[in-house]
Amino acid sequence: MWFEKSLDEIIKEFNTDIVNGLSSEEALARKNKYGPNKLAEKKKKSILKLLFEQINDVLIYILLAAAVISALLGEVSDAVIIMVVIVLNAIIGLVQESKAEKALESLKKLSFPKALVKRDGRIVEISSEDVVIGDIVVLEAGKYVPCDLRLIETANLKIEESALTGESVPSEKYAENVLKGEDIALGDQQNMAFMSTMVTYGRGTGVAVAASMDTEIGKIAKMLDNDEKNLTPLQVKLAQLGKILGFGVLVICVLMFIVAVIQKRDLFEMFLTAISLAVAAVPEGLPAMVTIVLAVGVQRMIKKNAIIRKLPAIETLGSVNIICSDKTGTLTQNKMTVTKFYADGTLDNISGLNMKNKVHFALVEYMILCSDATYSADSKTGDPTEIALLELGAKFDLYKKDEDRLHVRVNEIPFDSDRKLMTTLNRFDNKYNVITKGAVDNLIEICSSIYLNGGIVPFSEELKLKVMNASDSMSKDALRVLAAAFKKVDSIEIEIDSMEKNLTFVGLVGMIDPPRENVRDSIEECKKSGIRTVMITGDHKNTAFAIAKELGIAKDFSQVMLGYEFDKLPEKEAGNRIDNLRVFARVSPEHKVKIVKTLKKKGNIVSMTGDGVNDAPSLKTADIGVAMGITGTDVAKDASDMILTDDNFSTIVEAVKEGRNIYNNIRKSITFLLSCNIGEIIALFIGIVLGWPSVLRPIHLLWVNLITDSLPALALGVDPDDPDIMKEKPRDAREGLFSGKNGVFLIGNGILIGVLTLSAFYVGTRIYPNSVMHAQTMSFVVLSVSQLFYTLSMRHSEKSIFQIGIFTNRYLIGAIILGIVLQNVVITVPFLASVFKVFRLTLNDWMFVILLSIVPLVVNEIVKMLWKQNT
């Protein structure tokens, strides 16, 4: 590891010259050998490949087979309808995912175009792509680091690394530090500078030790560059369902031929009947229904500030039981803010500042004047801690005074990492004030007096102890503490060495990156809904725990673990301990991925939220990755499944609600379609076993599956939200679509619909013994209309239609009415009647079939009522 080696070792290993840098010839030779300093591009998927991924599904293959069979049977119109369903399904999915997998392209954009290097003894500006291993790179404030550097010289160097490490404040860098130990996190490697981070203060030089894909950001790119596809729970279940249906179709066909041989029937006739059963087994509208319901869900989510990049992500949200959240910029505001102060003998929240108090006024004013940052409503530049101080001044309308040049700076001693102090000399009327700010321990040593009660008094040991106690109190709350002091001088002619002596202590300010508004309430709501929140951050342990405790994520310090400590745990022990852990601090991108994978192995459905480059691999690994839309990097967004346009953690809770409702609606639709198909299979199979003529024709089944069933199924898919959905615990991802009473409900209703269809056919053959067509028409209508009425009871597994409101889903009522109308048109319009080979029913026939058709609705409502009484 580069941070463990001395400068002499680094220079020798890379054969470079600190003073002159590389020669142009040597730099060119190294570039030819190692290639340009840029991230590798991922090969884009072609439209054909994306299209194939959309149709590469067992259910789609069964639909294609059904289309071919329909065409062979001469039912060309049915084949066309099925193909339209397949194409529609593929196009919707393709549109949603055609922009996917741009993470590496976004990482490439982070490699900024210019860098300062020493070449041939001169400092020259070159493209960052031309930086090679061994180059001596010069860093200045405002410059981006072009590659990974081992620093060889620094002067008050600070680098903003939050996008890579997750730490909320810039890291101080020191060339002299030689660190030992493989457990040192990126944020603690103070003698290193990493590609695509930004210099916020000071200057430095370093040796290029890693470029392109070998850099830390390149390692992240490699973690993202894989074609591993995480299937959502619903995708897994639908894939399993497709295989079961495919196997079922084969079994049905074999059984039919066995029955044909036993009953000595016409084999061609039985072949057509077997095909009918195969068609009945496949819910033709299922793939399109699922895709369309998810697409509608996307539009609903946009209105709630969540952009869904991949359709199945909506369904995944509904089963999430763990939200792993980055701290900086996600749970917090990613903005250092002054929250406490100590002045005039009082420690208080910042709201207690009184500008009429001279000491309070002086504390804020001096913090503003002793700063190199700039602040306005439109722009902020400089160190985040100094920007926080300027924002505090702007809050009390004090910052304008410096802008008006009333206290112009005439001299200064810049911040130094050894002194940990910064001093300025500012004009105050005809005199001057020396103002010093910095670390409490260092500042207190050069103060001989303290500003108290509007006057200056000796700084006794007792008063120093009070100051240190106040500082310790702030530190325990994980606040970053700065102190301020001053002294008045008569002349601008003051020696530098004497400026930081015999100062008057003024006070302290404590600052932190504070939590976002409403986040605590959202975390509490998650907790009540059975969803656990886990904080993962690059910040230090104490800072992470302080925020986690304030938000209600963690209660005890034992629930906090460092990233490298977790990484060292054996797989079994990591799995055992992770249930009790709520906060992970000082984590690297690799640590985050291990944390997410360990949680997933425990059977959890994990959501990961984040905004930085360092979050991208874990966003991709999680069941659903959620990126911040405003502060999030392009890398994080492209690796995610969902983007929050308002960067609000609370939006995740709304998304979970939506996801749960959408999943419930999809499950209702699937249950409805499959129970109807079971009814069709039972009607046909039992009829054949009993030696009856075919109860239904293949075209009848296609009509019911593609037209009559599909519209009500879609209407169920957009059923209004259940207001009690968040009172339920997250469903077990391992739970089947039809586990528990849902499976009983599915099979029971399938049997009921099948028996009713057989009953209609049987009665039809008794009333019209010479007309099989008439009996088939009656069973056709009962099958269709009973399913339409049945949808009303499908809206809720426990609440009756009167509790949820008969007309609260207008789309469903419209679908039922339209279905009945279409069914009537088919059997009354002569042309269609001849195509479908049906008979025009009499009024008595209609009364009979309607009576049979409402039975499923009545039975289900009675069962709900009895179930409720017994629970």
Q: What is the DSSP letter of 133?
A: T
Reported confidence tier of residue 263, pLDDT bands at 50, 70, 90: confident
Q: Give the integer Cα–Cα distance in Å for 716 and 748.
A: 20
Beta strands in 611-712 (DSSP E): 624-628, 642-644
Note the pLDDT of residue 276: 62
Which amino acid belongs to residue 830? P
- 111 has pLDDT over 60: no
Tokens of 48: 């054909």
Reported confidence tier of residue 449, pLDDT bands at 50, 70, 90: very high
- Which of the two residues, 432 and 221, has the higher pLDDT score? 432
Tokens of 11: 């220079």
Three-state DSSP state, 388: helix
- 443 has pLDDT over 50: yes
pLDDT, average across residues 366-388 = 84
- 599 has pLDDT over 70: yes
Lowest mean pLDDT among 48-62, 240-254, 328-342: 48-62
For the stretch 192-240, pLDDT in tens is: 999 888 888 888 999 999 998 888 888 877 776 654 555 666 667 776 7
- pLDDT > 70 fraction of the chain, expressed in percent and rounded: 87
Note the pLDDT of residue 354: 94
For the stretch 720-745, pLDDT in tens is: 988 888 888 887 766 767 777 778 88
φ, ψ of residue 242 in degrees (nearest 5)? -60, -40
Please give the C-alpha separations between residue 618 and each of 95, 212, 583, in angstroms, as whole numbers. 25, 21, 16
Lowest mean pLDDT among 65-69, 111-115, 311-315, 694-698: 111-115
- Which of the two residues, 257 and 609, has the higher pLDDT score? 609
Domain ranges of the chain: 2-41+106-224, 48-105, 236-305+657-719+739-869, 307-333+516-647, 341-511
Please give the C-alpha separations between residue 85 and each of 67, 270, 277, 289, 744, in angstroms, as whole numbers. 11, 28, 20, 9, 30
Reported confidence tier of residue 178, pLDDT bands at 50, 70, 90: low
pLDDT, average across residues 638-642 = 84
The owner of tokens 């986040």 is 519
The CB-side HSE value for 351 (13 A sphere, CA atoms) comes to 0
The residues, any chain, with a CB within 8 Å of residue 136's CB and separated by 6 or more, are 16, 17, 18, 21, 22, 117, 118, 152, 205, 206, 207, 208
Can you state the angle between helices 233-263 and 649-689, rounded to 10 degrees? 0
Query: Do 740 and 668 form a contact (C-beta atoms < 8 A)?
Result: no
For the stretch 314-362, pLDDT in tens is: 778 888 999 998 887 778 887 899 999 999 999 999 999 999 999 999 9
Please give the C-alpha separations between residue 194 and each of 384, 391, 522, 815, in angstroms, as whole numbers. 19, 30, 35, 60
Q: Give the integer Cα–Cα distance in Å for 615 and 764.
A: 66
Query: Do 641 and 624 form a contact (C-beta atoms < 8 A)?
Result: yes
User: What homologous superfamily does CATH list for 307-333+516-647?
Assistant: HAD superfamily/HAD-like (3.40.50.1000)
- 146 has pLDDT over 50: yes
For the stretch 469-494, pLDDT in tens is: 999 999 988 899 999 999 999 888 88
DSSP H/E element including 714: helix 710-717
* Active-site residue, from 57, 78, 188, 326: 326
Lowest mean pLDDT among 61-65, 255-259, 408-412: 61-65
Reported confidence tier of residue 466, pLDDT bands at 50, 70, 90: very high
Note the pLDDT of residue 110: 46
Query: Do 599 and 606 form a contact (C-beta atoms < 8 A)?
Result: yes
Q: What is the DSSP letter of 518?
A: T
The residues, any chain, with a CB within 8 Å of residue 845's CB and separated by 6 or more, are 778
Evaluated on CA atoms 216, 221, 227, 230, the torsion sign reads positive
Three-state DSSP state, 790: helix
Can you state the angle between helices 843-853 and 741-767, rounded to 10 degrees? 160
Reported confidence tier of residue 770, pLDDT bands at 50, 70, 90: confident
Does residue 402 carry a catalytic annotation? no
Task: Name the residue among 655, 654, 594 with its Cα closest to residue 624.
Answer: 655
- 99 has pLDDT over 50: no
The overall average pLDDT reported for the chain is: 84
Report the predicted TM-score, pTM, of the whole model to 2 decimal places: 0.68
Three-state DSSP state, 847: helix
Note the pLDDT of residue 141: 80
φ, ψ of residue 11 in degrees (nearest 5)? -65, -40
CATH number of 236-305+657-719+739-869: 1.20.1110.10
The residues, any chain, with a CB within 8 Å of residue 161's CB and separated by 6 or more, are 167, 170, 171, 186, 187, 194, 197
Three-state DSSP state, 505: strand
The residues, any chain, with a CB within 8 Å of residue 761's CB and separated by 6 or more, are 683, 687, 692, 695, 775, 776, 778, 779
- Which of the two residues, 786 and 221, has the higher pLDDT score? 786
Within 10 A of 403 (CB to CB), how many other CB atoms are there?
10
φ, ψ of residue 789 in degrees (nearest 5)? -70, -35
- 413 has pLDDT over 80: yes
CATH 3.40.50.150 fits 2-41+106-224, yes or no: no
For the stretch 563-598, pLDDT in tens is: 989 999 999 999 999 999 999 998 888 889 999 999
Note the pLDDT of residue 349: 95
- 100 has pLDDT over 60: no
Q: Give the integer Cα–Cα distance in Å for 652 and 622.
A: 15
User: What homologous superfamily does CATH list for 341-511?
Assistant: Calcium-transporting ATPase, cytoplasmic domain N (3.40.1110.10)
The owner of tokens 């499944």 is 641
Q: Give the integer Cα–Cα distance in Å for 871 and 868.
A: 5
pLDDT, average across residues 520-524 = 90
Please give the C-alpha separations between residue 615 and each of 124, 166, 519, in angstroms, as whole numbers. 34, 8, 20
Task: Name the residue among 648, 649, 538, 456 with its Cα closest to residue 188.
Answer: 538
Reported confidence tier of residue 70, pLDDT bands at 50, 70, 90: low
pLDDT, average across residues 13-36 = 91
Residue 523 CB-density burial (10 A; 0-12 exposed, 13-18 middle, 19+ buried): buried
Reported confidence tier of residue 271, pLDDT bands at 50, 70, 90: low
- 403 has pLDDT over 60: no
Tokens of 689: 């076993």
pLDDT, average across residues 851-860 = 94
For the stretch 616-636, pLDDT in tens is: 888 888 989 998 887 777 677
Note the pLDDT of residue 243: 73
